């Protein structure tokens, strides 16, 4: 089999009060989609599954999600029932069910072969249809989770179905700068560093781009999914001094040189940008196809927590994809044990993207229920869209049900809990600092224990704020600054928001600057999810 495999491969900040951003409208067949469009085959009649649960992107509603792994949990009706039961135990409202792992399908497809993990199951068993029916009956939104970049995971066996792209299209497989398809090679490089998975698709190849659009188009047309969730929407992580770059096949280099007039080895930044554009244009065409066939479906992606790693080394740019409408939201894979790393990843996300379209992903085996609860609270404090738990099974996470029940008791109260009601923040214009009044003091009422002071300065040289006589460090405001926000929450309630609810506080503000300078001062009481 190794010889056969070898032979095969050898041949080839908004103004107050902030309102929810509308979800991008479903596009017509765009130029990008038309360019990448591919025939979807015959027989795309809708399956006998429940009508789609109405779903729109609501930035003010917390997402409470979890990932369900395909090869472990989508392999039988009982396994799916167990996984959905764990989602219920955790108090979740959405699940990402993995239906494409490595160029295969855990659903009925005319394009890609049935997953080999389903051998022995009845021929009419459709994991995705069953998960949709059972999940919707439980009130769960069900998103189809697809691995986009990974195409095969074995170095010793071939896919049994000749339609599999690894067999049918070896020219679509990613190569490194030395022409190798499967790397690292311990025989040739005993310390190769780390590279994810086994075989990846070449995002630069137009044939693969069209294939992926066809795959998501078929899935969205056949199934009433609440969303499509991209994973591995990038190049593989490459770590270690001996690891070489990827995507350097002759066809890709020729396209790059023709389109840019540059050579990859001499213009590495331009090469990275070009490869990033290949991933982005493919995902954008996939998004257009999904929205055309199922306008209410949300499009999301699991993204690397380290922004610089994702952009520079893996051609991931979720900030761009959120801004240009490719993604409705992104799930940040903050798979760390150290709380400081998780917090830093959240801060990075806030600095590079709209926080209300970012979901915090947590790897539960690294965290106790108490630690996971703290990170869920962090997502709320930092105004993220919500959280997602990985994985919802008993393989990586031993005895998951008691864990999830404990986590629910600590951090996942019912959504009708008044503390978590999704209401707009209450803005109060409490004063103006101008030529006639350079300071003021007043009492304000904190209803939720989540409060900010927001200042709109014009020409102010310096601004000083104090609460209850405990002065914060003076804050310098540069001429021309638009908005200054001071979050009082960490000081007001370092241990528990409850103790400070419905209490009065004193705010003192003063400013210096030329006579024409002024500043408007607001207090903002946040209700959402608190």
Q: Residue 24 pLDDT > 70, yes or no?
A: no
Residue 354 shares a structural domain with residue 209: yes
Q: What is the pLDDT of residue 501?
A: 41
Residue 508 shares a structural domain with residue 453: yes
Q: Is 264 helix (H, G, I), strand (E, B) or coil?
A: coil
Q: Residue 131 pLDDT > 50, yes or no?
A: yes
Residue in 248, 215, 210 with CA at minimum distance from that of residue 230 = 215
Residue in 271, 354, 254, 259 with CA at minimum distance from that of residue 23 = 354
Supply the DSSP string of 139-167, one letter for each residue.
T-EEEEEEE-SEEE--SS---SSTTSHHH
Residue 511 shares a structural domain with residue 392: no
Are residues 235 and 310 in contact, defined by beta-carbon separation less than 8 angstroms?
A: no
Q: Residue 288 pLDDT > 90, yes or no?
A: yes
Q: What is the pLDDT of residue 507?
A: 76
Question: What CATH number is associated with residue 220?
Answer: 3.20.20.80
- Domain membership flag for residue 293: yes
Averaged pLDDT for residues 35-51: 33
Torsion of CA 390, 96, 53, 61, to 10 degrees: 40
Domain boundary (412, 446, 480) is at 412
The larger pLDDT score, comparing residue 298 to residue 61, is at 298
Report percent pLDDT > 70 for the chain: 71
Q: What is the pLDDT of residue 391?
A: 92
Summary mean pLDDT of the chain: 77
- Domain membership flag for residue 23: no
Residue 365 shares a structural domain with residue 438: no
- Domain membership flag for residue 94: yes
Residue 431 shares a structural domain with residue 400: no
Residue 214 shares a structural domain with residue 67: yes
Residue 279 shares a structural domain with residue 318: yes
Residue 440 shares a structural domain with residue 403: no
Q: Residue 35 pLDDT > 50, yes or no?
A: no
* Structural domain boundaries enclosing 452: 426-525
Give pLDDT tens digits for 238-251: 554 555 677 788 88
Residue 484 shares a structural domain with residue 389: no
Residue 148 shares a structural domain with residue 290: yes
Distances (CA, A) of 14 to 282, 358, 520: 30, 16, 16
Supply the DSSP string of 346-357, one letter for each residue.
HHHHHHHS-GGG
Question: What CATH number is associated with residue 479?
Answer: 2.60.120.380
Q: Where are the alpha helices (DSSP H) in 11-96?
A: 31-36, 70-73, 77-89
Q: Residue 143 pLDDT > 80, yes or no?
A: yes
- Domain membership flag for residue 320: yes
pTM of the model: 0.71
Return the axis-axis angle of helices 77-89 and 127-137, rounded to nearest 10°. 30
Q: What is the pLDDT of residue 196?
A: 64
Averaged pLDDT for residues 435-439: 82
Are residues 342 and 336 in contact, defined by beta-carbon separation less than 8 angstroms?
A: yes
Identify the weakest region by mean pLDDT among 165-174, 293-302, 435-444: 435-444
Three-state SS letters, 377-402:
HHHHHCCCCEEEEECCCCCCCCCHHH
Domain boundary (365, 389, 412) is at 412
- Domain membership flag for residue 452: yes
Identify the weakest region by mean pLDDT among 79-83, 415-419, 506-510, 511-515: 415-419
Give pLDDT tens digits for 352-378: 778 889 999 999 999 999 999 989 988
Give pLDDT tens digits for 164-213: 999 999 889 888 777 777 555 545 544 444 456 678 899 999 999 999 99
The larger pLDDT score, comparing residue 496 to residue 129, is at 129
Q: What is the pLDDT of residue 522?
A: 81
Are residues 315 and 243 in contact, defined by beta-carbon separation less than 8 angstroms?
A: no
**Number of domains observed in the structure of the chain:** 2
Averaged pLDDT for residues 24-45: 38
């Amino acid at each position: 089999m190794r010889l056969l495999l070898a032979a095969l491969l050898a041949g080839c900040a908004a103004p107050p009060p902030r309102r929810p951003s509308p979800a991008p409208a479903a596009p017509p067949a765009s130029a990008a989609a038309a360019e990448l469009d591919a025939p979807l085959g015959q027989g795309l009649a809708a399956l006998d599954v429940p009508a789609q649960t109405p779903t729109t992107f609501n930035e003010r509603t917390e997402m409470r999600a979890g990932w369900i792994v395909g090869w472990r949990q989508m392999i039988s009706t009982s396994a799916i029932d167990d996984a959905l039961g764990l989602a219920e135990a955790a108090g979740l409202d959405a699940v990402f069910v993995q239906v494409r792992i490595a160029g295969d399908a855990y659903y009925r497809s005319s394009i890609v072969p049935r997953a080999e993990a389903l051998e022995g199951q009845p021929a009419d068993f459709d994991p995705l249809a069953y998960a949709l029916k059972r999940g919707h009956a439980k009130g769960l939104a069900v998103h189809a989770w697809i691995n986009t970049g990974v195409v095969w995971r074995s170095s010793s066996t071939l896919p049994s179905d000749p339609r599999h792209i690894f067999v049918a299209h070896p020219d679509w497989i990613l190569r490194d700068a030395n022409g190798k398809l499967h790397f690292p090679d311990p025989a040739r490089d005993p310390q190769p560093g780390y590279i994810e998975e086994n075989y990846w698709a070449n995002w630069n190849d137009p044939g693969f781009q069209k294939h992926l659009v066809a795959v998501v188009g078929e899935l969205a047309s056949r199934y009433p999914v609440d969303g499509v969730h991209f994973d591995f929407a990038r190049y593989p992580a490459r770590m270690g001094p001996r690891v070489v770059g990827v995507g350097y096949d002759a066809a890709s280099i020729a396209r790059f040189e023709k389109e840019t007039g540059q050579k990859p080895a001499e213009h590495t930044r331009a090469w990275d940008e070009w490869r990033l554009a290949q991933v982005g244009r493919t995902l954008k065409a996939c998004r257009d196809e999904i929205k055309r066939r199922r306008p209410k479906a949300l499009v999301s992606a699991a993204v690397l927590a380290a922004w610089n790693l994702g952009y520079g080394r893996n051609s991931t740019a979720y900030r761009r994809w959120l801004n240009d409408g490719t993604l409705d939201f992104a799930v940040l894979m903050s798979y760390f044990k150290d709380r400081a790393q998780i917090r830093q990843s959240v801060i990075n996300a806030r600095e590079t993207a709209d926080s209300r379209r970012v979901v915090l992903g947590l790897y539960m085996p690294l965290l106790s229920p108490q630690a996971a609860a703290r990170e869920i609270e962090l997502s709320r404090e930092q105004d993220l869209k919500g959280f997602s738990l990985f994985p919802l099974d008993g393989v990586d996470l031993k005895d998951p049900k008691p864990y999830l029940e404990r986590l629910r008791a600590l951090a996942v109260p019912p959504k009708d809990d008044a503390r978590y009601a999704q209401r707009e923040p209450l803005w109060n214009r409490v004063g103006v600092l101008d030529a006639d009044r350079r300071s003021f003091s007043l009492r304000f009422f904190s209803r939720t224990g989540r409060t900010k002071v927001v200042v709109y300065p014009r020409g102010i040289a310096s601004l000083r704020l104090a609460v209850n006589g405990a002065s914060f460090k003076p804050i310098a405001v540069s001429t021309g600054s638009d908005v200054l926000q001071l979050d009082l929450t960490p000081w007001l309630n370092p241990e528990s928001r409850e103790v400070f609810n419905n209490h009065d506080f004193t705010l003192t503000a003063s400013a210096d600057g030329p006579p024409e300078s002024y500043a408007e001062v607001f207090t903002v009481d946040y209700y959402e999810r608190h």
